[in-house]
A and B are shown apart, each in its own frame.
Chain A
Amino acid sequence: MSVFIVIVSRLAKAALTLLAIAILNFLLLHAAPGDPALVLAGEAGAADEQMIAQLRERFGLDQPFYVQLGKYVGSILQFDLGYSFRQGAPVSQLIMDRLPATLLLTLTAFVISLVFGIALGVGAAARVGRASDSLLTTLALLFYATPLYWLALMAVLVFSVWLGWLPGFGYETVGANLTGLARALDIGRHLVLPALTLGLFFMAVYMRMTRASMLEVSQLDFVKTARAKGLSDAVIRRRHILRNAILPVVTLAGLQAGQLVGGAVLTETVFAWPGIGRLMFESLAARDYNTILGVFLVSAAMVILFNIVTDIVYRIVDPRIGARA
């Protein structure tokens, strides 16, 4: 029952957060220089007079502020994110079309960075002070300082332009009309560079964190107890240190999910990956604020989802929390 209550309260909190973001969106629209109707319609000239009049009515732009807010939030609650005059389609539809590609990219990058980051962190901690540890920490420090988008560009240059090993552009081979497994493989080949370049930065983050956490936990009293029992170092690391050390990394991974989703804007831009990040980039040039804010709302929703998942994982790993709740 406690798990159920936890999930319900988390969902309630998530809903409140989304509502707050919707209100923030509304305030931002009004803060933008110029007539909100024109802002909503995109750059002047993209929509005709009649459409703008329609917009005014729909959002009650000649009515009091709170009515406008109510109408705006109300429409978002029905997943009506407005209409993109630039693209000539409802924003929600644009986003739904692009969302699978973003989910594929971010989830792959998330898994890669978490798995390899933790594995490398554990390895580095086990060899602390030796050459292999220094090499790993230095590399992590370097990737930690490298702009995502630049790394992506350089990867395209080396692996796509110079070596020709992997496609550096798009989601699948255009015009190949592949189906089934062949198509999946084709998408997979296109996915390698974007997912790796997006994941590398976060891999560096998780590796550093895991290493530090492993070293910290290995100083704790219960590790000495485990040694006094006559356990081997490998068993101590696996059974005692790792599980305790991984908890803060999981927490961090949940918090960093927001950055991962944000980072996808850059990766998708470089690789012309047809996700919501690329959609946002295209809308920037067109000043299509409706689409920009829509993508913003949906990416926030994605982050909240990531957070709930990490929360649940945390509860499974740590027996103390469930008992306290």
Chain B
Amino acid sequence: MSTTLSIEHLTIDLPPGADRPHAVDDVSFAIDKGEILCVVGESGSGKSMTANALMGLLPPGVKVRAGRALFESRDILKLPEAEKQALRGARIAMIFQEPMTALNPLMRIGDQIAEVFAAHDRFTTAERRKKALALITEVGLPDPEKIIRAYPFQLSGGQRQRAMIAMALALEPKLLIADEPTTALDVTTQAQILKLILDLRDRRGMAVMFITHDFGVVAEIADQVIVMREGRVVERGTAARVLEQPEHPYTQRLLEAIPTGKLPQARAVPQEPALEIKALRKTYRTGGGLFKPVREVRAVDDVSLTVARGEVLGLVGESGSGKSTLGRTAVRLVDPDGGQVLVGGTDLAALSEQDLRAQRHKVQMVFQDPYASLNPRQKIMGALTDGPIAKGVPRAQAQSRARELLEIVGLGADAAERYPHEFSGGQRQRIGIARALAMDPELIIADEAVSALDVSIQAQVLDLLRDLRERLSLSILFITHDLRVAAQLCDRIAVMQKGRLVEIGTVHQIFLTPQQDYTRQLLAAVPGADWADSWQQQAAGA
């Protein structure tokens, strides 16, 4: 096999004042023709910077200090700008993480594809159009004649990523750099895009540098793997070797942190209900102006479920499944159209605004975005005591309880006197959990509470929740898009699709004997599912 790209001793400087001197520090690796190399790391590992350096797209102030990158027997890091430009899009192409923002909103898809040919002076206008149509067909977009005339806002996220891939493939590059191209997509869409990239690699024999944080994705597509941490390569090898016998402790930690198919032991859960949702309905209506037709979306469509005292119920679904609306309706951040939300005998759905305020403390929520869930202008103490004081707890008592809770979630009591910006994402999620606990709730709803965190931080927060579940016998409704995460923490799992409850059962039932097609589809789409299966069989055998 011939080497397509070979990087030797690459070092990239960060501007002065950054948290470390080098974004990338003495990194070497090679990618062969037809090979997929996964570069794995958490945020700040330098994996994206490496890719940007290859494309000549480093942000201002960030510079290559040392090293070479040999591609087609030239060092592409030292090429003059004009030659780099000729290389980009033609010999090396790149796709990005956010399909929603990576396309020009004011330009038709066809024009954006044809532009690649124009940039490199290939073909006539008519030929460009024909080629664009062929590419759109090749990446599996429906109705190419229509897509070519469409604007980005008329396409879904997955479709946009396909359009991005069509652009990248236009001039048959030898190297494709994919920077977390599936991170922003739903699992089933992610599985399709991964399959498309695998197909294209086989058909065209190009080399792929695939950047990801997700070992599931690695298991799905990688031939070779390098693991990066704080700008350095800590581990490299074939995918099979790294996944099964990781050598570096950091890789081992990352792999352990990944929820695999290792299903936890089922626990005995008491049957007394903490939360009962009965026939809950919520429909969103948009439009409906003078001339506009009303569009209805049934976000929650006649859903009933029960969370028992001391139980963790996972609520899983893709975006638009209504899982978050269900959670928000259950705490009355959203008013339901019908149905009951029973907590300790009170129907929250039926209360007036004023009566509700007195009952609010019974159900609390932990939110998704650690940067938006705390008021930047309020000290942590305020965040933790506002609620208890409003419900009548004396100030001194609320404050001592707040300190105690901060200890419990592992932050230390002195955290109370600080502002949110002094904490990291994972620490803020801990504060969010403490805030929910401060209200002595009967139930906590965690809405994608670990989704915004890096894998290793995610694991720590999950550990905390598991620990709290045991110590305080908490009841939790755990909303997530990630089946693997749900498997780690939950006793039972409920699957939602398009506002309806598809299936509900114990973790073992859902994972091992799913009853519904959609559940099976979701399980199959989980990246690294086969690989996880092998773990599972080991676990089952043990």
Query: What residues make up the interface of A, taking CB atoms closer than 8 Å to B?
Result: 2, 5, 9, 220-222, 224-232, 235, 239-240, 243-244, 317-320, 323, 325
Residue of A nearest to B103 (CB): A222
Chain B residues contacting A2 (CB-CB under 8 Å) are 291
Q: How far is the CA of A325 from the CA of B293 in the complex (A)?
A: 10
Q: A230-B86, A230-B120 are in contact. Are A244 and B55 (CB under 8 A)?
A: no
Q: How far is the CA of A226 from the CA of B94 in the complex (A)?
A: 10
- Contact B291–A229 (Cβ < 8 Å): no
List the 3 closest pairs (A to B, CB-CB), nearest first.
Answer: A230-B89, A230-B88, A229-B89
- Contact B119–A235 (Cβ < 8 Å): yes
- Enumerate 30 A-B pairs (CB-CB under 8 Å) in ascending A order: A2-B291, A5-B291, A220-B101, A221-B101, A221-B102, A222-B102, A224-B57, A224-B102, A225-B96, A225-B102, A225-B104, A227-B55, A228-B88, A228-B89, A228-B93, A228-B94, A229-B89, A229-B115, A230-B85, A230-B120, A231-B85, A232-B85, A239-B107, A244-B104, A319-B151, A320-B151, A320-B153, A323-B153, A325-B291, A325-B292
- Contact B57–A240 (Cβ < 8 Å): no
Return the CB mask of B117-161 against A: 1 if under 8 Å, else 0: 001100000000000000000000000000000010110000000
Residue of B nearest to A8 (CB): B291
Give, as a whole number of angstroms, the nearest-CB distance from A176 to chain B: 50
Residue of A nearest to B120 (CB): A230
B interface bracket (residues with beta carbon within 8 Å of A): 20 to 34
Known: A228-B88, A228-B93, A240-B107. 6 other contacts (CB 8 A): A9-B290, A224-B57, A225-B103, A225-B164, A230-B116, A232-B85
- Contact B106–A231 (Cβ < 8 Å): no
Chain B residues contacting A235 (CB-CB under 8 Å) are 119
Chain B residues contacting A239 (CB-CB under 8 Å) are 107, 115
- Contact B119–A231 (Cβ < 8 Å): yes
Chain B residues contacting A224 (CB-CB under 8 Å) are 57, 96, 102
Return the CB mask of B75-117 against A: 1 if under 8 Å, else 0: 0000000000111111001101010011111110000000110
Contact partner, A320, options B89, B93, B105, B119, Cβ 8 Å = B105
Give, as a whole number of angstroms, the nearest-CB distance from A2 to chain B: 8
Q: How far is the CA of A221 from the CA of B537 in the complex (A)?
A: 43
Q: A225-B96, A320-B151 are in contact. Are A230 and B57 (CB under 8 A)?
A: no
Chain B residues contacting A243 (CB-CB under 8 Å) are 106
- Contact A230–B151 (Cβ < 8 Å): no
Q: A225-B164, A229-B88 are in contact. Are A244 and B116 (CB under 8 A)?
A: no
Chain B residues contacting A320 (CB-CB under 8 Å) are 105, 151, 153
Contact partner, A230, options B90, B101, B102, B103, Cβ 8 Å = B90
- Contact A221–B85 (Cβ < 8 Å): no
Chain A residues contacting B222 (CB-CB under 8 Å) are none
- Contact A230–B119 (Cβ < 8 Å): yes
- Contact A229–B167 (Cβ < 8 Å): yes
Residue of B nearest to A224 (CB): B57
- Contact B119–A229 (Cβ < 8 Å): yes
- Contact B98–A221 (Cβ < 8 Å): yes
Q: How far is the CA of A295 from the CA of B488 in the complex (A)?
A: 73
Chain B residues contacting A222 (CB-CB under 8 Å) are 101-105
Q: How far is the CA of A230 from the CA of B120 in the complex (A)?
A: 7
Residue of B nearest to A244 (CB): B106
- Contact B116–A229 (Cβ < 8 Å): yes
Q: How far is the CA of A60 from the CA of B92 in the complex (A)?
A: 81
Residue of B nearest to A219 (CB): B59
